[in-house]
């Protein structure tokens, strides 16, 4: 593909079409969406999908599940918390028509939409299983309500997600390995497409809430949270990406890609925000240059979308923080292998020519 020397002004429709055409070797970037971290404000899902920078969006969260935390008369129930994007009825039923439409439009653009379970374990949002059998049953509930199964109470209607994300932040590990294995079995038996299996562990290797799951189930991606954990954050002396890479390699999980998870704004987490994307670029450059671990590198993950695209972290050219981070990572992806693609950022103003690929 070649770019014109004088590219015409692009309409939003043509920009969205171009989004789906960008080569897969561009830097991968995932965001979490649904919690309206930006002062309880968030834009529709499709807005974030239309950004060139984003290729995967995790819908956060299915935040309460398990018989211990759901009324006994609603054993199939769960709490879906997407802030202001759904209408909740009695008996744990949800209607999210705008999310339904946006998921399908996002997928037309080549974006992956993943349902995330868990999140912060607090007094309002509790989750967990009594035993392995309950976890296996919940796998079928997730499949029927969000994937290719069938239920009269599908929150997103006929929209089908592209995967399952585990953001488990509780010490009780009962059932999560069985949940993942059962979901994998259902996909292999009944799925008509590939599904992503991802997890978002905190960066501390010695304090893992998903140790049993991660040791025994090969995830496609790990979105490692290098924030809210000062001992192992990206700019700390204890930054431990290489330890995580060695863990994955030693387990024989050769397909697992590691993502550097960061806050998308100074207010998105208590610590770990990297305002200067050049420093983030330097860290990624070192990883990509290290033949021992570079094949484990997958990209970047940000919490969350609403803050990462808001007005407060934009630069003098009105580029969002997430776009700047994505551009900095793409700048590392080789020279002389240009795709010739000309892309417009999420503000509609700045262009990035001849994006190149390393792999």
98-129 pLDDT tens trace:
999 999 999 999 999 999 999 998 877 899 99
* Residue 298, CA distances (Å) to 35, 84, 247, 330 in order: 24, 31, 15, 12
**Going by C-beta distance under 8 Å and a sequence separation of 6 or more, which residues neighbour residue 18?**
10, 52, 341, 343, 344
For residue 316, the model assigns a pLDDT of 58
Instruction: Give the pLDDT of residue 318.
Output: 58
Cα separations (Å) of 162 from 57, 106, 175, 240, 341?
A: 10, 11, 22, 29, 26
How far apart (Å, rounded) are the C-alpha atoms in residues 155 and 59?
12
Whether residue 337 has pLDDT greater than 80: no
Mean pLDDT of 93-99: 97
List active site positions.
169
pLDDT at 71 over 80: no
The region, left, alpha or beta by phi > 0 then psi within -120 to 50, assigned to residue 119 is left
Residues 147-158 as b/e (b if ≥16 CB within 10 A, e otherwise) read beeeeeebbbee
How many angstroms separate the CA atoms of 285 and 331, rounded? 10
3-state secondary structure at position 160: coil
Q: Which residue has the higher pLDDT, 149 or 73?
A: 149
- With a pLDDT cut of 90, the percent of the chain lying above it is 74
| pLDDT at residue number 7 | 35
> Is residue 9 over pLDDT 60?
no
The predicted structure's pLDDT at residue 110: 97
Give 301-312 as a 3 state SS string.
Answer: EEECHHHHCCCC
Instruction: Give the three-state DSSP class for 344.
Output: strand
Closest listed residue to residue 60, CA positions, set 33, 27, 99, 94: 33
Report how far apart, in Å, the C-alpha atoms of 193 and of each of 88, 163, 190 are: 30, 10, 9
Task: Give the burial class of 181: count Cβ atoms within 10 A of its Cβ; 0-12 exposed, 13-18 middle, 19 or more buried.
Answer: middle
- What pLDDT was estimated at residue 340? 28
Q: Would you say residue 238 has pLDDT above 90?
A: yes
CA distance to 27, 329, 350, 354, per residue, from 342 (Å): 15, 17, 10, 6
Of 58-72, 217-231, 237-251, least confident by mean pLDDT is 58-72
Label residues 273-300 b or e (16+ Cβ within 10 Å = b): bbeebeebbebbeebbeeeebeebbbbb
Q: pTM for the whole thing?
A: 0.87
Average pLDDT over residues 229-245: 97
41 touches 84 (CB < 8 A): no
Stronger pLDDT, 262 or 24, i.e. the higher one: 262
Question: Could you tell me the pLDDT band of residue 177, with boundaries at 50, 70 and 90?
Answer: very high
Looking at 3.30.1960.10, 3.20.20.80, 3.10.180.10, 3.40.640.10, the CATH number of the domain 26-338 comes to 3.20.20.80
pLDDT on residue 317: 62
For residues 54-63, give the mean pLDDT: 98
Given a cut of 60, whether residue 347 has pLDDT beyond it is no
- Taking residue 340's Cβ as centre, other Cβ atoms within 10 Å add up to 13
Domain ranges of the chain: 26-338
User: pLDDT grade, residue 247 (50/70/90)?
Assistant: very high
- Render pLDDT for 127-152 as a digit per residue (tens, 0 to 9): 999 999 999 999 999 999 999 999 99
HSE, CB side, 13 Å, CA atoms: give it for residue 68. Answer: 11
Cβ atoms of 90 and 172 within 8 Å: the answer is no
113 forms beta bridges with 57
On whether the CB atoms of residues 147 and 160 are closer than 8 A, the answer is yes
pLDDT tens across 273-330, in order? 999 999 999 999 999 999 999 999 999 999 999 999 986 667 656 589 999 999 999 9
Q: Does position 215 have pLDDT exceeding 90, yes or no?
A: yes
pLDDT band at 23 (very low <50, low <70, confident <90, very high): very low
Average pLDDT, the chain: 85
Residue 16 has pLDDT above 70, yes or no: no
| 22, pLDDT greater than 50 | no
């Amino acid at each position: 593909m070649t770019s014109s020397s004088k590219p015409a002004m692009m309409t939003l429709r043509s920009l969205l079409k171009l989004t789906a055409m960008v080569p897969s070797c561009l830097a991968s970037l995932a965001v979490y969406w649904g919690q309206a971290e930006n002062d309880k404000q968030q834009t529709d899902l499709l807005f974030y999908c239309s950004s060139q920078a984003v290729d995967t969006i995790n819908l956060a969260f299915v935040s309460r599940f398990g018989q211990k935390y759901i009324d006994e008369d609603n054993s199939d129930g769960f709490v879906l918390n997407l802030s202001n994007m759904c209408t909740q009825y009695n008996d744990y039923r949800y209607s999210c028509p705008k999310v339904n439409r946006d998921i399908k439009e996002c997928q037309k653009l080549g974006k992956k939409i993943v349902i995330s379970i868990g999140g912060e374990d607090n007094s309002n949002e509790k989750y967990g299983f009594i035993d392995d059998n309950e976890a296996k049953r919940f796998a079928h509930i997730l499949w029927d309500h969000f994937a290719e199964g069938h239920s009269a109470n599908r929150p997103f209607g006929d929209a089908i997600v592209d995967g399952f994300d585990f953001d488990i932040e509780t010490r009780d590990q009962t059932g999560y390995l069985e949940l993942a294995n059962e979901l994998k079995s259902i996909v292999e038996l009944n799925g008509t497409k590939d599904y992503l299996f991802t997890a978002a562990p905190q960066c501390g290797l010695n304090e893992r809430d998903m140790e049993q799951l991660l040791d025994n189930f090969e995830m496609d991606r790990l979105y490692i949270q290098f924030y809210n954990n000062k001992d192992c954050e990206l700019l700390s002396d204890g930054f431990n990406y290489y330890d995580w890479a060695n863990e994955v390699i030693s387990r024989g999980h050769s397909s697992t890609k590691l993502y550097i998870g960061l806050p998308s704004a100074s207010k998105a987490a208590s610590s770990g925000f990297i305002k200067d994307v050049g420093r983030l670029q330097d860290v990624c450059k070192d990883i990509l240059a290290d033949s021992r671990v570079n094949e484990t590198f997958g990209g970047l993950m940000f919490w969350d979308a609403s803050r990462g695209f808001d007005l407060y972290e934009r630069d003098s050219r009105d580029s969002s923080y997430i776009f700047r981070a994505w551009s900095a990572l793409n700048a590392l992806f080789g020279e002389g292998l240009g795709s010739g693609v000309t892309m417009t950022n999420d503000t509609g103003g700045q262009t990035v020519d001849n994006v190149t690929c390393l792999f």
